[in-house]
Amino acid sequence: MNQNSVCVAEARAVRRVLIIDDHPVVRHGLRYLMENSDDLAVCGEADTAGEARAAIEALHPDVLVCDISLTRVDGIELVRFLRAHYPKLPILVLTALDETIYAERMLALGVNGYIMKHAPTDLFLVSLRRVLDGDIYVSDSISSTLLGKFAAGDPYLSADPINRLTNRELQILHMIGKGASTREIAQLLHLSGKTVESHRQRIKRKLNFNTGAQLLRYALLSHAQS
């Protein structure tokens, strides 16, 4: 085989993609999209954290495409697990959750890219290939925001109260918006009910809410809009 043939073969190497999403329609759409690509192939699908862990062990994917809004298990917690156990495995977050709230935090947790589900399909493929090539992908608007914060010298300076929340508080707010009770949140995050309640009180204070009803309404509306 001559050198040109080797280059062509390398260029056409198929990278294996594992999809983690609890919506069958989304998984089907992504599979169809990659079936029409000569360098990408879906090697498996998962809709729970348990299925995702088993699939990674069995299939050894080259990249994960993962939603962080999962029905049974919080996707943020799943990302924490994946980064702890598979630090070199590329993760592209594909989600409907507002990138202005979640993208920077997910990058801090170690994901390699963040793209919204309403993005054009060709842009999704760009983001996936960029992540596979070892780069970081975010939208132009998020990139500009991050550069602006860096230039200002204070990455935590923001007028938006939501940015006052810690990652754990934001995670709990998201779970409240999904309708999870204090007991359910405690079980999923392996916390005591008292600890979850303490987080709820701090979230209320940071978002300037006086009642639990105001917090619940905000969380539900935020989740519905995403």
End position of a domain, from candidates 100, 119, 148: 148
pLDDT of residue 73: 64
Distances (CA, A) of 184 to 9, 72, 73, 135, 160: 50, 11, 10, 37, 28
pLDDT in tens, the chain (226 residues): 444 434 443 445 899 999 999 999 999 999 999 988 999 999 999 998 889 999 999 999 999 999 988 766 677 888 888 999 999 999 999 998 888 888 888 888 889 999 999 999 999 999 999 999 999 999 888 877 666 655 555 544 455 677 778 888 888 888 888 888 889 889 888 889 999 999 999 988 888 887 787 888 888 777 655 5
Dmax over Cα atoms in the chain, in whole Å? 72
How far, in Å, CA of 189 to CA of 76, rounded? 10
Kindly list the strands in the beta sheet with 40-46, ordered across the sheet, starting from the edge strand earlier in the chain.
40-46, 15-20, 63-66, 91-95, 113-116
Please indicate, yes or no, whether residues 137 and 33 belong to a single structural domain of this protein.
yes
CATH of the domain at 71: 3.40.50.2300
Query: What global pTM score does this model have?
Result: 0.70
Please indicate, yes or no, whether residues 199 and 125 belong to a single structural domain of this protein.
no
Please indicate, yes or no, whether residues 120 and 195 belong to a single structural domain of this protein.
no
Do the domain assignments include residue 153?
no
Please indicate, yes or no, whether residues 62 and 94 belong to a single structural domain of this protein.
yes
End position of a domain, from candidates 101, 117, 148: 148
Please indicate, yes or no, whether residues 220 and 142 belong to a single structural domain of this protein.
no
pLDDT of residue 133: 93
Closest CA to 106 of 140, 77, 70: 77
End position of a domain, from candidates 123, 148, 173: 148
Please indicate, yes or no, whether residues 31 and 80 belong to a single structural domain of this protein.
yes
Burial of 213 (0-12, 13-18, 19+ CB in 10 A): exposed
Beta bridge partners of 27: none
Please indicate, yes or no, whether residues 190 and 130 belong to a single structural domain of this protein.
no
Do the domain assignments include residue 155?
no
- Tally of structural domains, the chain: 2
Please indicate, yes or no, whether residues 141 and 167 belong to a single structural domain of this protein.
no
Please indicate, yes or no, whether residues 176 and 142 belong to a single structural domain of this protein.
no
Please indicate, yes or no, whether residues 24 and 82 belong to a single structural domain of this protein.
yes
Please indicate, yes or no, whether residues 68 and 118 belong to a single structural domain of this protein.
yes
Please indicate, yes or no, whether residues 132 and 177 belong to a single structural domain of this protein.
no
CA torsion, points 222, 109, 201, 175, in degrees to nearest 10? 40
Domain range for residue 74?
3-148
pLDDT of residue 5: 38
pLDDT of residue 2: 45
Beta bridge partners of 16: 41
Do the domain assignments include residue 141?
yes
Long-range contacts of 165-172, Cβ-Cβ distance < 8 Å, separation of 24 or more? 165/203, 165/206, 165/207, 167/76, 167/105, 167/108, 167/109, 168/199, 169/199, 169/202, 169/203, 169/206, 170/101, 170/102, 170/105, 171/74, 171/76, 171/77, 172/196, 172/199, 172/200, 172/203
Do the domain assignments include residue 218?
yes
E strand map for 37-158: 40-46, 63-66, 91-95, 113-116
